[in-house]
Amino acid sequence: DLAGDGADLMTFRGAVGRFVLPWNTSVSPCMWPGVTCASNRVVSLRLPGSGLIGQIPEGTIGNLSNLQTLSLRFNALSGPLPSDLARCKELRNLYLQGNRFSGEIPAFLSSLSSLVRLNLAENNFSGVIPLALNNLTRLGTLYLESNHLSGEIPELDLPNLVQFNVSFNRLNGSVPSKLRDKPANSFLGMSLCGGPLGLCPGEISPAAAPTGALPSGSGSKLSGAAIAGIVIGTIAVFLILLVILFLLCRKKGKAGAAKSVEAKPPEVEVALRDVGIVDGFGTNGVAPATKVAASSAPAAALAAKKQLAFFGNGPKVYDLEDLLRASAEVLGKGTFGTTYKAVLETGMMVAVKRLRDANTPEKEFREKIDAIGAMNHPNLVPLQAYYHSKDEKLLVYDYMPMGSLSSLLHGNRGSGRTPLSWEIRTSIAMAAARGIEYIHSTSPTASHGNIKSSNILLTSSSEARVSDHGLAHLVGLSATSNRAAGYRAPEVTDTRRVSQKADVYSFGVLLLELLTGKAPAQALLNEEGVDLPRWVQSVVHEEWTSEVFDMELLRYQSVEEEMAELLQLGVNCTAQYPDQRPTMSMVVAKIEELQRSSVEVSKE
Ligand SMILES: Nc1ncnc2c1ncn2[C@@H]1O[C@H](COP(=O)(O)OP(=O)(O)OP(=O)(O)O)[C@@H](O)[C@H]1O
């Protein structure tokens, strides 16, 4: 049980990390840095580069029988591996690279049949590579480089092996047939032969073999005319493809422009007032394509009487009249109404949200909006001002020029796309988590109520900020607001009563979205999306395969553990029962830890 796991971990700490592991027995082991639990057992222990030193005793980690991931890479651990590690039958990932482990590669490793990743590189292991590793039929990664292994490489036949390296050992002989598709840099620093390393002495090249299946040059020489035909044909096909591509791009460009969230300025400039705001002409719809009649005199008089209410002590650089004169462009239509980008005559840009169906009584509205306006945090989109009348409610926010995380992740997946790096993704996760943590810190019942990727907006320097805070409570989300469906915690039946733990659930979905690149159910207009928590868990249940991650993250091999941990955090946040989910403060602490460890890895 968990208490037993905790005691074993403390013994482990006493032996190899007494002064470096800040584990506190007054809290659950699941809260200790590096420890992850599931179903009340420790399932992963990740202590990369933590200053651990010495030999791991028996009866410590070996007792963690539910362990799936053990990462002790880049420490100063030495001696043989404890033999009771053989009892960790659930182990999938074993990262021990960069230590001083010695002795033979233990035979028991071959009995850990769940292993998917095994990394023993950069240690002092000696002896031969055991043939019994062939029992590990799920193995996808086998890294053994920079040890003192000797003898020939055995006939390894691992159907799922993708990553393989035995460089810089003392191996000899030839590369076994089933490993000949691996690149030459899997076998560096030794005098091996065969496969990618060239022919072994006495070996005949398959191409030179008289009955070789591959066509060899001399027998099938092409005539000059045939070659010319092929060249001309290829060029013609290429040109046709180019024309098709060009036509497709043009078509897509046109369609995209109509749909785009970050729409181009409309051809005919429309003032905010012209969409019917304040003077009551409009229907809260999309900006008309052509300029509509100038506002009527009564409307102007109304506007003159009414004023914007500003928050904060900064200079009030515009008034309602300036705002109504600003040129407007629809950014999108959301749950609460339509949002416009307004460019004031001074060139200042703001986002104006025109609330739909906001028939909250004035007093209550003002109280709630004052509370929203008083929120001040670097990871929240600041509410600058608001306007309230019986028929019209406007909220004026800072304009976020880089748009939303949703459009960044799912918009423009074509060739012109700039991939979202691991660093940007983690910093967005960090910023969003801090924004939500701040909201939760304002009162024990305070929540955002509508966390999703279209409500995470980015500043010009790609810093993320949470938007729409407080609106779910101000206006009340309609149960039919489907775009939030994929983010909604299972226990939420009344969308006005959203708890902090429901925000954690939505944030978990957002994390999974960031890592997989997939949109949750109904998050995108006209697209299906997937039930992300269920999908991730089904893939992960099979194996921690890289398939679950966004293709754009696959090049960040060095931080694959951090990625897996962030994914696990997303899974934990989307636990079915609210009290099994972490708090936002715990989430923030975990992401901070992962960010630190990513930076350390990148320095290695
Ligand atoms: N302050 C802002 N700066 C820049 N763009 C914004 C701003 N606020 C909203 N947007 C953009 O306007 C679009 C519409 O936003 P809006 O908040 O009205 O709807 P939503 O986020 O799609 O859904 P919901 O209303 O449920 O939050 C969003 O896609 C977002 O990118």
**pLDDT computed for residue 252 by the predictor:** 52
**pLDDT computed for residue 110 by the predictor:** 95
**pLDDT computed for residue 522 by the predictor:** 58
Report the separation in Å between the CA atom of 348 and the middle of ligand 1, taken as the mean of its atom positions: 18
Whether the pLDDT of residue 419 is over 50: the answer is yes
**What average pLDDT does range 445-466 have in this prediction?**
92
Using DSSP's 3-state secondary structure scheme, residue 84 falls into helix
**pLDDT computed for residue 256 by the predictor:** 41
Q: Check if 397 has its Cβ closer than 6 Å to any atom of ligand 1.
A: yes
**What average pLDDT does range 587-602 have in this prediction?**
83
User: Among the listed ranges 312-321, 562-571, 580-589, which one has the minimum average pLDDT value?
Assistant: 312-321
- Indicate the helix (H) or strand (E) that contains 460: none
Cα separation, 356 vs 367, whole angstroms:
18
**What average pLDDT does range 303-307 have in this prediction?**
59
Report the separation in Å between the CA atom of 469 and the middle of ligand 1, taken as the mean of its atom positions: 12
Pairing of strands 327-333, 337-343: antiparallel
Ligand 1: which of 262, 335, 339, 384 to mutate, judged by most atoms within 8 Å of the beta carbon? Answer: 339
Whether the pLDDT of residue 279 is over 50: the answer is no
**Nearest-CA residue for atom 18 of ligand 1:** 334
Residue 59 or residue 250, greater confidence: 59
**What average pLDDT does range 373-378 have in this prediction?**
91
Q: Check if 584 has its Cβ closer than 6 Å to any atom of ligand 1.
A: no
**Nearest-CA residue for atom 4 of ligand 1:** 400
Is residue 486 within 8 Å of residue 531, measured between CB atoms? yes
Report the separation in Å between the CA atom of 261 and the middle of ligand 1, taken as the mean of its atom positions: 9
Atom of ligand 1 nearest to the CA of 262: 31
Residue 297 or residue 236, greater confidence: 236
Residue 438 or residue 207, greater confidence: 438
**Nearest-CA residue for atom 11 of ligand 1:** 331
Cα separation, 559 vs 599, whole angstroms:
9
Residue 237 or residue 152, greater confidence: 152
Q: pLDDT band at residue 477, thresholds of 50, 70 and 90? A: low
pLDDT in tens, 320-356: 888 888 888 888 888 788 999 999 988 899 999 998 7
Q: pLDDT band at residue 217, thresholds of 50, 70 and 90? A: very low
Q: Check if 6 has its Cβ closer than 6 Å to any atom of ligand 1.
A: no
Q: pLDDT band at residue 269, thresholds of 50, 70 and 90? A: low
Q: In angstroms, how far is CA 414 from the centroid of its own chain? A: 19
Please write down the HEC assignment for all residues of 180-198: CCCCHHHCCCCCCECHHHC
Report the separation in Å between the CA atom of 466 and the middle of ligand 1, taken as the mean of its atom positions: 11
Is residue 448 within 8 Å of residue 477, measured between CB atoms? no
Report the separation in Å between the CA atom of 448 and the middle of ligand 1, taken as the mean of its atom positions: 15
**pLDDT computed for residue 483 by the predictor:** 57
Name the DSSP class of 260: -
Q: pLDDT band at residue 298, thresholds of 50, 70 and 90? A: very low
Cα separation, 538 vs 551, whole angstroms:
18
Q: Check if 382 has its Cβ closer than 6 Å to any atom of ligand 1.
A: no
**pLDDT computed for residue 255 by the predictor:** 44
* Mean of all residue pLDDT scores within the chain: 81
- Indicate the helix (H) or strand (E) that contains 443: none
Half-sphere exposure of residue 239, counting CA atoms within 13 Å on the CB side? 6
Q: Check if 457 has its Cβ closer than 6 Å to any atom of ligand 1.
A: yes
Atom of ligand 1 nearest to the CA of 353: 18
Q: Check if 451 has its Cβ closer than 6 Å to any atom of ligand 1.
A: no
Atom of ligand 1 nearest to the CA of 337: 18
Question: Of 428-442, 469-483, 511-525, 564-578, which one has max mean pLDDT?
Answer: 428-442
Cα separation, 594 vs 587, whole angstroms:
11
Whether the pLDDT of residue 231 is over 90: the answer is no
**pLDDT computed for residue 274 by the predictor:** 66
Whether the pLDDT of residue 13 is over 50: the answer is yes
**pLDDT computed for residue 204 by the predictor:** 73
Whether the pLDDT of residue 180 is over 60: the answer is yes
Distance between start and end Cα atoms, the chain = 36
User: Among the listed ranges 37-41, 64-68, 463-467, which one has the minimum average pLDDT value?
Assistant: 37-41
Torsion of CA 469, 474, 479, 484, to 10 degrees: -10
Using DSSP's 3-state secondary structure scheme, residue 8 falls into helix
Atom of ligand 1 nearest to the CA of 455: 21
Residue carrying structure tokens 């028929």: 391
Report the separation in Å between the CA atom of 295 and the middle of ligand 1, taken as the mean of its atom positions: 26
Name the pTM for this structure.
Answer: 0.60
Residue type, 543: E
Q: What share of the chain is helix, strand, coil (3-state, %, to 5)?
A: 40, 15, 45
Q: Check if 334 has its Cβ closer than 6 Å to any atom of ligand 1.
A: yes
**pLDDT computed for residue 208 by the predictor:** 58
Report the separation in Å between the CA atom of 284 and the middle of ligand 1, taken as the mean of its atom positions: 15
pLDDT in tens, 111-155: 999 998 899 999 999 999 999 999 999 888 899 999 999 999 999
Packing angle, helices 422-441 and 500-516, rounded to 10: 170
Whether the pLDDT of residue 7 is over 70: the answer is yes
Q: Check if 455 has its Cβ closer than 6 Å to any atom of ligand 1.
A: yes
Name the DSSP class of 354: E
Q: Check if 453 has its Cβ closer than 6 Å to any atom of ligand 1.
A: no
Share of the chain above pLDDT 70, in %: 79
Share of the chain above pLDDT 90, in %: 39
Cα separation, 456 vs 427, whole angstroms:
12
pLDDT in tens, 358-371: 677 888 888 888 88
Residue 423 or residue 229, greater confidence: 423
Report the separation in Å between the CA atom of 457 and the middle of ligand 1, taken as the mean of its atom positions: 8
Packing angle, helices 500-516 and 532-542, rounded to 10: 60
Burial class (CB in 10 A: 0-12, 13-18, 19+), 10: middle
Report the separation in Å between the CA atom of 446 and the middle of ligand 1, taken as the mean of its atom positions: 21
In order of 49, 345, 550, 563, 564, the CA distances from 554 in angstroms are 23, 46, 7, 10, 12
**Nearest-CA residue for atom 16 of ligand 1:** 334
pLDDT in tens, 36-52: 888 889 998 988 878 89
**pLDDT computed for residue 497 by the predictor:** 67
Cα separation, 564 vs 422, whole angstroms:
12
- What 339-343 contacts at long range (C-beta under 8 Å, 24+ apart), as own/partner pairs, is 340/272, 340/275, 340/287, 341/399, 342/272
Q: Check if 17 has its Cβ closer than 6 Å to any atom of ligand 1.
A: no
**What average pLDDT does range 74-84 have in this prediction?**
93
**Nearest-CA residue for atom 30 of ligand 1:** 404
Residue 365: count other Cβ atoms within 10 Å of its Cβ: 18
Please give the structure tokens belonging to residue 413: 């997946």
Report the separation in Å between the CA atom of 331 and the middle of ligand 1, taken as the mean of its atom positions: 7
Q: Check if 400 has its Cβ closer than 6 Å to any atom of ligand 1.
A: yes
Whether the pLDDT of residue 286 is over 60: the answer is no
Whether the pLDDT of residue 254 is over 60: the answer is no
Residue 106 or residue 521, greater confidence: 106
Residue carrying structure tokens 């304040």: 278
Residue 193: count other Cβ atoms within 10 Å of its Cβ: 16
Atom of ligand 1 nearest to the CA of 454: 21
Q: Check if 399 has its Cβ closer than 6 Å to any atom of ligand 1.
A: yes
Q: Check if 351 has its Cβ closer than 6 Å to any atom of ligand 1.
A: yes
Q: Check if 467 has its Cβ closer than 6 Å to any atom of ligand 1.
A: yes
Atom of ligand 1 nearest to the CA of 481: 26
Atom of ligand 1 nearest to the CA of 404: 31
Whether the pLDDT of residue 265 is over 80: the answer is no
Residue 497 or residue 128, greater confidence: 128
Whether the pLDDT of residue 263 is over 70: the answer is no
Torsion of CA 335, 458, 572, 377, to 10 degrees: -90
Report the separation in Å between the CA atom of 293 and the middle of ligand 1, taken as the mean of its atom positions: 27
Residue 29: phi, psi to the nearest 5? -55, -25
**pLDDT computed for residue 358 by the predictor:** 64
Whether the pLDDT of residue 480 is over 50: the answer is no
**What average pLDDT does range 232-252 have in this prediction?**
69
Please give the structure tokens belonging to residue 327: 């040129």
